[in-house]
């Protein structure tokens, strides 16, 4: 009897130790100390290879990775572990969920994964007693974790949230130890649905805090949401709460290092030191040091550190080396090397691990090379998928337009300027200017004219829109033969004439363009072989067109004279001279001499306005 009691006690103690190991391992995973967590779970697994929780969590540690092993290899290793567990102990619900997790990550049949999740739920749901219908929080959490893993296109977050809510419904007092992680996984799944669900994610994280006020991860994740919105006041509060909850929580220090890296390099170094002091020992910490050296403007020192890491660890083991290489080479003026490293980094890094600054750097570097416009523009598209916050998208498109403009890739500049303003809605004066200027630089003059018209209507008192409008109108008729600019300039004058005293020189200049057009037109008509006036005064159709065009030119000179009625002004003298010359032509060809030769004669010259 004593022996049986002793064995039962030993089993109880062993189970408690295993449970404590698993709880510690889960915390290590939450703190991104994946190598340490894996070693701990491996120890638990080695001690009891048929314990479902030891098998499951070792698989989760394998999936979390070590920063070196490729994703496909990690998935294959965890899959083999779960398959072996199912063979050894049968269809344990937790391992069934683990296999569903693998199917989610493999991108296979999502319905097949859901069938496994439902199978596990059914197998662990209480069927009688006061807890009848209660779902196992452990299983629910594993399902939430499976769908929270990977990028926004991985898993089914709506399904996961529905299942995660069940755990609270059957445990309103939040007594189960899985509840905090359940709400954290719920928050992650809400974020997978898009930035507009940030509020729901915050509520979920707050539920986790209500259960565990010392949950640094929950505070941190709320801070990250406000960080994505550039709300420093709020994210500072939550990052501080994360530190107060657990000063050894490393991720918060790295996020603060990253935030201050471009703002306050000394503060960034302070947070980097705290991160390294609390994070798992890893070569990537030296990579972060190389990043700090870059941020501090010590580019060659940073590059030397990268080469040292490249020789000892290798870029395959530390893919982030390529990113910092690109930063350093870009600042050191080696654009060819920078382009190689940034493109390799973007192409070989999982999408969910890429950030907006990575795409911004790639865009900036690649845009320097002619013929890479499509690649550079593709980086912008990918960045917009990565961050669905409207303000961040607007800011990134603005940066993209500026980069394309600097590289003189004006069509792409115009494209992203338009996309930005379509998303933004109401345009400021600066927006109108930038958009119209981009269209003019891109030589999209019809679009430029439309934008200038909108700019002019919004800000009729400003000189810039009138200048853009005039340039676009004239550019649409580069050889001044179609006459399309005449109507546009007449419209422009109706706007300018609302403050004639201020704008009369600009109106005079537009009239001058119109006058030149008519003079050129009637001079060309005069050169026509069909320009004939018979001795009896009969005129060909071309002569009638000539006289009508001359009359239009006179009307323009009258407007010019009216603008400057002072007969001593240069403008008045010029317009009067042109008018008199044109009137002589009208008079001469309206009442020609009896023997006026064909082709016009030589006695009366035609005006050639100059100004």
Q: With pLDDT > 70 as the criterion, what percentage of the chain qualifies?
A: 93
pLDDT at 149: 93
Burial of 353 (0-12, 13-18, 19+ CB in 10 A): exposed
pLDDT at 480: 82
Express each pLDDT in 240-280 by its tens digit.
Answer: 999 999 999 999 999 999 999 989 999 999 999 999 999 99
Residue scoring higher pLDDT (377 or 19): 377
Position 529 in a domain: yes
| Average pLDDT taken over every residue of the chain | 89
Burial of 76 (0-12, 13-18, 19+ CB in 10 A): middle
pLDDT at 173: 57
Whether the pLDDT of residue 595 is over 60: the answer is no
Express each pLDDT in 393-445 by its tens digit.
Answer: 888 898 888 888 888 899 999 999 999 988 888 889 999 999 999 999 999 99
Number of H-type helices and E-type strands within the chain: 29, 0
pLDDT at 293: 95
The residue among 251, 281, 311 that closes a domain is 281
For residue 131, how many other CB atoms are within 10 A of its CB? 12
295 neighbors 331 (Cβ within 8 angstroms): no
pLDDT at 369: 92
Position 578 in a domain: yes
Measured distance CA(238)–CA(259) in Å, rounded: 14
Position 242 in a domain: yes
CATH number at residue 275: 1.25.40.10
Position 264 in a domain: yes
Number of domains in the chain: 2
Whether the pLDDT of residue 178 is over 90: the answer is no
Whether the pLDDT of residue 1 is over 60: the answer is no
Q: Which residues form the domain of 249?
A: 217-281
Express each pLDDT in 482-509 by its tens digit.
Answer: 889 999 999 999 999 999 999 999 999 9
The residue among 253, 281, 309 that closes a domain is 281
Position 248 in a domain: yes
The residue among 252, 281, 310 that closes a domain is 281
When pLDDT is cut at 50, 70 and 90, the band that residue 607 belongs to is low
Position 193 in a domain: no
When pLDDT is cut at 50, 70 and 90, the band that residue 170 belongs to is low
Two structure tokens written together for 456: 């002019």
């Amino acid at each position: 009897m004593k022996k049986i009691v002793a064995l039962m006690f030993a089993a109880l103690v062993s189970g408690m130790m295993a449970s404590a190991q698993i709880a510690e391992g889960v915390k290590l995973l939450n703190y991104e100390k994946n190598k340490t967590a894996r070693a701990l779970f491996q120890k638990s697994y080695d001690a009891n290879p048929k314990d479902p929780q030891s098998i499951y969590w070792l698989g989760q540690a394998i999936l979390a990775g070590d920063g070196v092993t490729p994703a496909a290899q990690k998935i294959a290793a965890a899959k083999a572990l779960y398959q072996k567990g199912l063979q050894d102990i049968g269809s344990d619900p937790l391992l069934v969920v683990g296999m569903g997790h693998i199917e989610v990550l493999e991108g296979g049949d999502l319905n097949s994964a859901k069938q496994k999740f439902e199978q596990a739920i059914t197998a662990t749901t209480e069927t009688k007693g006061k807890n009848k219908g209660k779902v196992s929080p452990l299983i629910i959490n594993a399902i939430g974790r499976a769908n929270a893993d990977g990028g926004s296109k991985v898993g089914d977050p709506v399904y996961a949230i529905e299942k995660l809510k069940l755990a609270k419904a059957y445990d309103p007092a939040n007594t189960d130890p899985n509840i905090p992680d359940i709400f954290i996984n719920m928050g992650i799944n809400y974020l997978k649905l898009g930035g507009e669900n940030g509020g729901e994610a915050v509520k979920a994280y707050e539920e986790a805090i209500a259960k565990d006020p010392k949950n640094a991860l929950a505070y941190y994740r709320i801070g990250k949401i406000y960080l994505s919105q550039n709300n420093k006041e709020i994210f500072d509060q939550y990052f501080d709460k994360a530190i107060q909850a657990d000063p050894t929580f490393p991720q918060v220090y790295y996020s603060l290092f990253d935030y201050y890296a471009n703002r306050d390099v000394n503060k960034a170094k302070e947070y980097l030191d705290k991160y390294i002091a609390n994070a798992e020992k890893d070569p990537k910490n030296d990579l972060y040091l190389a990043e700090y050296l870059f941020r501090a403007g010590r580019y060659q020192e940073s590059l030397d550190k990268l080469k040292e890491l490249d020789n000892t660890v290798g870029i395959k083991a530390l893919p982030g080396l390529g990113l910092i290489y690109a930063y350093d080479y870009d600042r050191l003026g080696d654009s060819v090397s920078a382009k190689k490293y940034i493109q390799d980094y973007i192409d070989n890094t999982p999408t969910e691990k890429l950030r907006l600054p990575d795409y911004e750097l790639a865009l900036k570097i690649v845009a320097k090379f002619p013929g890479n416009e499509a690649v550079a523009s593709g980086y912008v598209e990918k960045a917009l998928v990565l961050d669905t916050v409207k303000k961040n998208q607007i800011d990134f498109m603005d940066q993209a337009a500026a980069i394309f403009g600097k590289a003189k890739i004006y069509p792409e500049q115009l494209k992203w300027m338009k996309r930005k303003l379509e998303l933004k809605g109401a345009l400021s004066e600066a927006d109108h200017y930038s958009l119209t200027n981009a269209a003019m630089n891109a030589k999209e003059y019809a679009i430029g004219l439309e934008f200038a018209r909108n700019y002019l209507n919004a800000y009729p008192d400003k000189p810039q829109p009138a200048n853009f409008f005039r340039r676009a109108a004239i550019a649409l008729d580069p050889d001044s033969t179609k006459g399309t600019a005449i109507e546009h300039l007449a419209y422009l004058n109706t706007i300018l004439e609302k403050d004639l005293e201020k704008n009369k020189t600009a109106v005079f200049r537009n009239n001058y363009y119109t006058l030149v057009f008519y003079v050129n037109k009637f001079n060309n008509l005069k050169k026509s072989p069909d320009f004939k006036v018979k001795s009896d005064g009969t005129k060909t159709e071309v002569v009638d067109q000539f006289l009508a065009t001359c009359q239009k030119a006179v009307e323009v000179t009258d407007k010019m004279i009216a603008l400057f009625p002072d007969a001593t002004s240069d403008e008045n003298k010029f317009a009067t001279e042109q008018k008199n010359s044109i009137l002589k032509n009208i008079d001469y060809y309206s009442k020609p001499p009896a023997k006026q030769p064909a082709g016009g004669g030589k006695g009366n010259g035609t005006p050639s306005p100059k100004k």
